[in-house]
Amino acid sequence: MKFPSEPFKIKVVEPIRRTTREERDRLLRHAGYNLFQVPADSVYVDLLTDSGTSAMSDNQWAGMMLGDESYAGSKNYFHFEEVVRSIFGYQHVIPTHQGRMAENLLFSTVLKPGMCVPNNIHFDTTRANVEHQGAEALDVVIKEAYDPHCDVPFKGNMDLLRLEHAINRIGRDRIPLVMITITNNSGGGQPVSMANIRETRALVNRYGIPLFFDACRFAENCFFIKEREAGYAEKPVIDIARELFGYGDGCTMSAKKDGLVNIGGFLSLNNDQWAQDITNLLILVEGFPTYGGLAGRDLEAMARGLREVLDEDYLSFRIGQVRYLGELLDQGGVPIVKPIGGHAVYLNAKEFLPHIPASQFPAQALACALFREYGIRGVEIGAVMFGKHDAVTGQVMYPELEMVRLAIPRRVYTNMQITYVAESIIALYQQRGMINGLKMVYEAPTLRHFTARFDELVLLHT
């Protein structure tokens, strides 16, 4: 079947309401054209993120009732630890309330100013947490990742030549670890192949540098390996995951994605000294090591979610639903990033809105128009999220990709709602000349996309 149907039925529903265009226009102005500032109950289909927005299963909800809220030694921690070890295979399992805390603990422990972390592409919080330590977040993805038309199966791969060049230039002593983000979120939710991971391992081994994964969407990445990489078609996804993590020394994980939970994350690693230092810091800033900023019930939901996410009927539906949206848009002539990613479809805003120059934030303008016209919320992944002022000249530097990401929450929306999204975007594309550029009027010093404010440049189009 081209698009497998849902391997679940709906037991509980959450009503969503439709708002009027006038209402959304007012809310948008009030929000300073920043969709993070818009109340969620004014959104009809919310594709802002796939993070923390999953629907939990009856099995996970049942697990919540078995939460053991003991301060120390909760039985849910031991279950969680066993599940994480059985999939990821690393010795130490450190729970955190979400992914960025895992990043913060890791980078505060291993990084010093002037150091560097190479990654295929850092996502926003990962980059910010590296830079927060005075270190450099270096992206070394293959160059194809920056071409929205280039349809290659593993567009998240590391560029091994660039990585080796970077190691030689920067020096092994200033690179405490290399990271690989699976799937590569900032590059379009693209997977990394097993072969590339194996080769990265061989390369960093030659220099004695540890390899870590940013594992948020590991199950989706492993499913792509099964679908696309020679030799994996018959392998269970769980075995693919075990092989993949076997090439690493540890991982950070936001379980709000492929953990199928609304909150939770962890850090798992083999290095005893790092684990000890991280645990000490965890106790200072997050919580005791057997709960790490979560309730016992959250740990139980996460343990169960990590098992469910490897179910292959679930994964083929999940990847199929994202592909369904992407193919409808593609057939409707809408410019999207190819190939279609694992958790989201990415609109190519430069081609959608060729009349809006980079300085007027075309992807942000497109995301706002989609909300105002159709009540659909996506997120800008472009100059607002990743644009920078050059430290010396103050000049604005624009990222190569200017995208609106439509991230699909797991097990939440029906294919009718997804069809509505596709039809709305196709209709918006037909009236794209009406969309105006934006001017940024406020920005915070870090992670500015969450709070930036804009004005609409109403008169600038013809």
Is position 219 an interface residue for ligand P70 (rule: CB under 6 A)? no
Closest CB 50 distance from ligand P70, rounded Å: 6
Is position 125 an interface residue for ligand P70 (rule: CB under 6 A)? yes
C-beta of 237 vs 255, nearer to ligand P70: 255
Closest CB 104 distance from ligand P70, rounded Å: 9
Kindly state the tokens that stand for 230. Answer: 């020679």
Q: Which of 42, 76, 109, 181 binds ligand P70 (CB under 6 A)?
A: 181
C-beta of 214 vs 286, nearer to ligand P70: 214
Is position 99 an interface residue for ligand P70 (rule: CB under 6 A)? yes
Q: Which of 24, 79, 92, 100 binds ligand P70 (CB under 6 A)?
A: 100
Is position 214 an interface residue for ligand P70 (rule: CB under 6 A)? yes
57-86: contacts with ligand P70 (CB under 6 A): none
CA distance 32 to 239: 47
For residues 3, 324, 194, 101, the Cα torsion angle rounded to the nearest 10 degrees is -120
Closest CB 267 distance from ligand P70, rounded Å: 12
What Cα–Cα distance (Å) separates residue 164 from each residue in 42, 187, 199, 313?
Answer: 49, 21, 11, 39
Is position 383 an interface residue for ligand P70 (rule: CB under 6 A)? no
C-beta of 36 vs 78, nearer to ligand P70: 36
Is position 260 an interface residue for ligand P70 (rule: CB under 6 A)? no
CA distance 362 to 372: 15
C-beta of 128 vs 457, nearer to ligand P70: 128
C-beta of 35 vs 334, nearer to ligand P70: 35
Is position 49 an interface residue for ligand P70 (rule: CB under 6 A)? yes
The window from 1-9, 11-19, 121-129, 318-326 that contacts ligand P70 (CB under 6 A) reads 121-129
Q: Which of 24, 79, 155, 256 binds ligand P70 (CB under 6 A)?
A: 256
C-beta of 100 vs 323, nearer to ligand P70: 100
Closest CB 446 distance from ligand P70, rounded Å: 14
The separation between the first and the last C-alpha atoms of the chain, rounded to the nearest angstrom, is 46
Is position 185 an interface residue for ligand P70 (rule: CB under 6 A)? yes
Question: Where do contacts with ligand P70 occur on this chain (CB under 6 A)?
Answer: 48-49, 51, 98-100, 123, 125-126, 181, 185, 214, 216, 254, 256, 265, 379, 407
